[in-house]
Amino acid sequence: MGSTIGYATNNWGVVGSEVGGRTAAVLYSIVETCKHLGIDPWAYLRDALPGIFALGEEPSAEQLRGWIPDRWLLNRTRDRPTTNTRRRNLREQKQYSNPLIPCNQRATRVHT
């Protein structure tokens, strides 16, 4: 974070206005937070900005909380299966749908 902010301080004189300065500060904060959490900042912004705009003119604090980078990451990873789950599903899919094995010799699923 230090190198990005240190480099940027030399360029902030050309922001243009107080509002532009605030916007730059918010964007730097978001980008550095994403980097700290291991999130690709562009992936976050591509997903979050349309989602935030879709909330309308006056979203509630609770609606906005879901778009904070750490909550966004939590929601995103919760919705995706883990690598082990994906591998297990792929193995099961191959085991149960291999066309080279006759139907009567394929393993059957046992639900527990």
How is residue 100 written in tokens? 């080279």
Mean pLDDT of the chain: 75
Query: Which of 7-11, 27-31, 49-53 comes out lowest in average pLDDT?
Result: 7-11
The torsion angle over the Cα atoms of residues 49, 51, 52 and 57, rounded to 10 degrees, is: 120
pLDDT tens digits, residue range 14-31?
667 888 888 888 889 999
Mean pLDDT in residue range 78-101: 56
The sign of the dihedral angle between the CA atoms of 51, 55, 56, 58 is negative
pLDDT score of 22: 87
Domain spans of the chain, in order of start: 2-105
Mean pLDDT in residue range 67-89: 75
CB atoms under 10 Å from CB of 69, counted, come to 21
Give the Cα separation of 98 and 13 in Å (integer): 65
